[in-house]
Amino acid sequence: MMLEDKINELLKEVEDLKAQSAEELEALRLKYLSKKGLVNDLMADFRLVPAERKKEMGQKVNQLKDKVTEKIAQLKEAFEEKADAENKLDLTRTAYPVALGTRHPLNIVKAEIIDIFKRLGFVLADGPEVEDDWHVFSAMNFAEDHPARDMQDTFFVESHPDIILRTHTSSVQSRVMEKSQPPYRVICPGRVYRNEAISYRAHCFFHQVEALYVDEKVSFADLKQVLLYFAQEMFGPDTQIRLRPSYFPFTEPSAEMDISCHLCGGKGCAFCKGTGWVEILGCGMVDPNVLELNGIDSKKYSGYALGMGIERITNLKYQVKDLRLFSENDVRFLKEFEAAN
């Protein structure tokens, strides 16, 4: 075969070259471009080309050489792109990785409190956070100029002196009573506001749960039993309770409840300041004045009420040292409660 035919044949052949791997590609390079490769082989024939055609044939051989080089480079690029894409694909990965959130610790504890009271037949009730003076104070037996109103630092709406941010969920008691006659057995969780300087131990808003039970012949013994049940469900079956006399305008008699310190088992530690007891809630028998103010016959009905801070209960359960953490939305803090979810 003449040199020219050989070159043309090789040019065509090169057109359709394929390689699937680095090894195949290297084999092609050796086959065509190495010292003993097909392109160099043509040199033997080149010597036989008549002088007047040498230039033309020389160019053709060079053209072939360029073409093979270019083709191999092309194949290499395509092959590398493919390998690259394959390396980046981790076929064992989950199809849709979803970053799961966690429930807020206050919500976890709130749900637990509600759950305990639900088992006793309590149902949920709620009222507005922006309230009027009547529901927060007057209907709860805080007299107009009663110093007890100073117990809770109130946020007022400047243009409407009667409208305030509720300072406690006790306002929901009045919201419930004005709607219907007893019996009531309600539990009212919600946010409350107080005009306090923000620090690790106080915030201008926090959360409470209120419980109210009104029926015929409700006694202090009923209250005590519910308190004991709640404390033991929340903090463990060995928990003991103690009631200390206290004062709230809306209950008579009033008490504050302590539980035996669940960290030291009542022996006394830094957490309970060596006393063996920690305070968790306020409670008492609904003051007959409150019943009357809300249109309920206090001769026929009696009841008990209790109120607790959700932050306080959460701190007791999880020892959160700084109240501000609850409202900073730091995911590192929230993630710590993953196990409790």
CB of 285 to ligand DAH, least distance (A): 8
Contact region for ligand DAH (CB under 6 A) — 18-26, 77-85, 227-235, 279-287?
279-287
How far CA 20 is from CA of 12, 28, 29, in Å, comes to 20, 11, 14
For 287: left if phi > 0, alpha if psi spans -120 to 50, otherwise beta; the answer is beta
Sheet hosting strand 130-132, strand order edge to edge: 130-132, 160-165, 156-157
**Which residue is associated with the tokens 């209790």?**
306
Q: Which of 164, 172, 283, 291 binds ligand DAH (CB under 6 A)?
A: 283
Pick the closer one to ligand DAH by CB: 305 or 310.
305
| Contact indicator for 152, 131 with CB cutoff of 8 Å | no
Pick the closer one to ligand DAH by CB: 45 or 222.
222
CB of 238 to ligand DAH, least distance (A): 26
Q: Is 249 in the site for ligand DAH (CB under 6 A)?
A: no
Looking at beta carbons, which residue is closest to ligand DAH?
A: 307
Contact region for ligand DAH (CB under 6 A) — 25-33, 121-129, 176-184, 281-289?
281-289
CA 138 – CA 44 distance, rounded (Å): 116
Pick the closer one to ligand DAH by CB: 3 or 140.
140
Q: Which residues from 133-192 bind ligand DAH, rule CB under 6 A? A: 168, 170
Q: Which helix (H) or strand (E) holds 253?
A: strand 251-260
Q: Is 284 in the site for ligand DAH (CB under 6 A)?
A: yes
CB of 254 to ligand DAH, least distance (A): 6
Determine the longest span between alpha carbons in the chain, in angstroms. 134
Is the sign of the CA dihedral 103, 107, 112, 118 positive or negative? negative
Retrieve residue 277's tokens: 């007891």
Pick the closer one to ligand DAH by CB: 73 or 143.
143
Environment class of 102 (CB within 10 Å of its CB; exposed 0-12, middle 13-18, buried 19+): middle
Q: Which of 116, 306, 320, 334 binds ligand DAH (CB under 6 A)?
A: 306
| Interface positions with ligand DAH (CB under 6 A) | 168, 170, 210, 248, 251, 282-284, 305-307
